[in-house]
Structure 1
């Protein structure tokens, strides 16, 4: 199927429009990816903080248990 000369400008225009849409989609995906990476970093930092708080709480609870056991033994 051979395109005539009159069809070529229309075909070229359609190709340009498709390319423009692809570029817009690429930019949107690129932006989404950037935002997702930022969110991932935030979540990793939050996870680190929560793990630190959890370890501190565990340490404090263990210390309280140890003190309670010592008090219990002292009263026996």
Structure 2
């Protein structure tokens, strides 16, 4: 291998390293965005579960009141 071949191989390695570094940064950004989205979805899910529970409690209270009214003479 002559000096020119070694330089060309070194340039190729540098280009590959730069491409890998750029890909790493893109994937890191994407990962960060996906984690933020996942957290947002988990928060929304928790909110929906809480709202569903509140609605269930209200419906059960209404049913109880209706049954109480039905039992009155």
TM range (shorter): over 0.9
Q: Give the whole-Å Cα distance in 2 for the aligned partners of 1:46 and 1:4.
A: 63
2:21 aligned counterpart, secondary structure: helix
2:29 aligned counterpart, secondary structure: helix
Q: CA deviation at 1:32?
A: 0.5
- Structure 2: 5+ residue runs without aligned partners? none
- 2:64 pairs, out of 56, 63, 66, with 66
* Superposition TM-score, scaled by structure 1 size: 0.91
Report the equivalent of 1:14: 12
* Superposition TM-score, scaled by structure 2 size: 0.95
- Structure 1: 5+ residue runs without aligned partners? none
Cα root mean square deviation, aligned: 0.8
Number of matched pairs: 73
Q: CA deviation digits over 1:18-53, x for unaligned, max 9?
A: 001000100010000000110111011101110110
Moved over 3 A (4+): none
